[in-house]
Amino acid sequence: MVSTHTPHRWVLGLLVVLFLLGHWCGRDGWRLLVKPYQRLLQTAPAANLTPTWDDYHHHWDRLARAALAWLFVALLGSYFLTQRRHLQPLTRRSAAFLFAQIFATSLLVPQLFGPAAEPTPLTNTGDFIMNWEADDTWMPLMIAYTRLQEHPFEPLYASVLQQAKFQYPPAALWIGDVLVWASPTTAFRGQYNLTGFAEALSWGALLLMAWYLYRILSVVLQPAAPAEQGARGLLALLGTLTFFPAIYSYGSGQIQTWLNAILTAAVWYWLRGRRGTAGVLVGCCALVKPQYAILLLWGALRCEWPFVRASAATWLVGTALAIWRFGWAYHVEYARLLGDIGRRGESYFPNQSVNGLLHRFWHTGDSLTFSFTQYAPFHQAVYVGTLATSALLLLSALWPLRRGRGQALDFALMLLAATLASPIAWTHHYGILLPLYALLLPVCARSPWRLGLLLLSVILTAQYGFFLRPLAALPGWNLLLSHIFFGALLALILGYATRAQAATTADSLRR
């Protein structure tokens, strides 16, 4: 019988084996098992109805991805089933809710709506296990970096926009320098190899996010035996790898995977009282996503000067180095680009912001097709509505409080408000919800209605309803396409309602 007094090493061992198997499959190792099919197809007579090797390739890819993802869920599910009597009630209920949601979103919904429901969270979980990732961020970044090297005195953002949307400040181009420096030889410095190296870092970043989420849970929940701590760690891993904004960020190849991990770490360091470390991490994120710079004003209003000094120093030094490395002209061009993005935004349905919601409500453009070279057309009502709601969201988070101000929950709520207030907030930008949910869990568990609202928020944000796309053309009904935005807004309001109580709970637990 396995001891319940220590974390179950066999679970961790089997997870390592599973990830190694997934890595082997992701590197086409599974094709060795289907070589007979390939030889059979090569000798078969040509016919339009004969499946090609590419057809089998796609089929086996999907099969291997789904099998590995469900093996991962089954492995953790068997652990929680066998150890349920040794776990605290809140841990058992959280695990039961999480598994029920996984089965609903990845099994029941696809059965009801078919291919229209894909991708599901487990689709990208399989991608993670097989170490597969797209290049939605890395390819535009490397296009911009290559363009900068070849034409250093020509406009950057306007020329790159002819191929892809590069929406990051010049400081983000430091990533290109780092990737080139990290490549062992010149032969490996091609665009594909550089983006492959960045994707490998994203794999580690997602595990790092799960680790810091576990550490947050270990602080905000009651002290527990090692077996309980191990269960919380596995719960954090399962939650991270099946929460759509976090896992989709990895699957689509977004730099937001790095930022989600860094911001989760910042919440952890803030929770532990290390304001300066949290400031450095937020300053690094502001170099890539300028909206996080609003945390400087938030910190100043709460007199969190170690955080403000560290964050401002990191951001200012990084920006100064970027001006020295890439020039002042690109920063001026980027400021114009930000103004244009703020005026126009995106109507594409994964834009989970007020701007995207209003664009879809007014039918200003095609909300089902992503344009790689154009933003949404300017619309006066959308622009005014975006400005008004962004100001309201930011003011609600910045407003100084008497109780609960400067606590970890207050910090996480400001991060979420900065995301909600942005004119473009893609689904993967809401990975910051995971540490916020961890902070809200213990205080909401004391009240049935608050716990119900928290679970409703998780249901709305943990999966994107791709099957709702046919509603895009129906006035009013197309608001349902913004369900992640509404779920995040519900979490923000719930956080405001429990901010003071959460601060008291956290302080008492630490004592």
Which residue is listed with tokens 């996503």? 289
Structure tokens at 244: 């759509």
Query: What number of helices (H) and strands (E) belong to the chain?
Result: 23, 0
Neighbours of 6 (CB within 10 A): 12
Tens of pLDDT, residues 149-184 = 888 888 888 888 878 888 899 998 888 887 777 665
Report how far residue 433's alpha carbon sits from residue 435's, in angstroms, rounded to the nearest whole number: 6
pLDDT band at 130 (very low <50, low <70, confident <90, very high): confident
pLDDT band at 33 (very low <50, low <70, confident <90, very high): very low
pTM of the model: 0.89
Which of the two residues, 418 and 196, has the higher pLDDT score?
418
Residue 48 pLDDT: 46
Report how far residue 410's alpha carbon sits from residue 412's, in angstroms, rounded to the nearest whole number: 6
Radius of gyration of the chain measured on its C-alpha atoms: 23
Tens of pLDDT, residues 345-373 = 999 999 999 999 999 999 888 888 888 88
Give start and end residues of each alpha helix (H) in 345-400: 354-362, 380-398
The DSSP letter of residue 104 is: I
pLDDT band at 116 (very low <50, low <70, confident <90, very high): low
89-98, 105-114, 206-215, 493-502: least confident range: 105-114
Structure tokens at 371: 């344009």
Report how far residue 391's alpha carbon sits from residue 80's, in angstroms, rounded to the nearest whole number: 44
Buried-exposed string 203-228: b where 16+ CB fall within 10 A, e elsewhere: bebbebbbbbbbbbbbbbbeeeeebb
Peptide bond into 119 cis (omega under 30): yes
Q: Identify the CA nearest to 191 among candidates 235, 263, 141.
A: 141
283-287, 316-320, 344-348, 405-409: least confident range: 405-409
Tens of pLDDT, residues 456-487 = 999 999 988 888 888 888 888 889 999 999 99
Report how far residue 510's alpha carbon sits from residue 504's, in angstroms, rounded to the nearest whole number: 10
pLDDT of residue 260 exceeding 90:
yes
Give start and end residues of each alpha helix (H) in 50-165: 53-82, 89-103, 109-113, 121-129, 138-150, 157-160
Average confidence score pLDDT of the chain? 83
pLDDT of residue 44 exceeding 60:
no
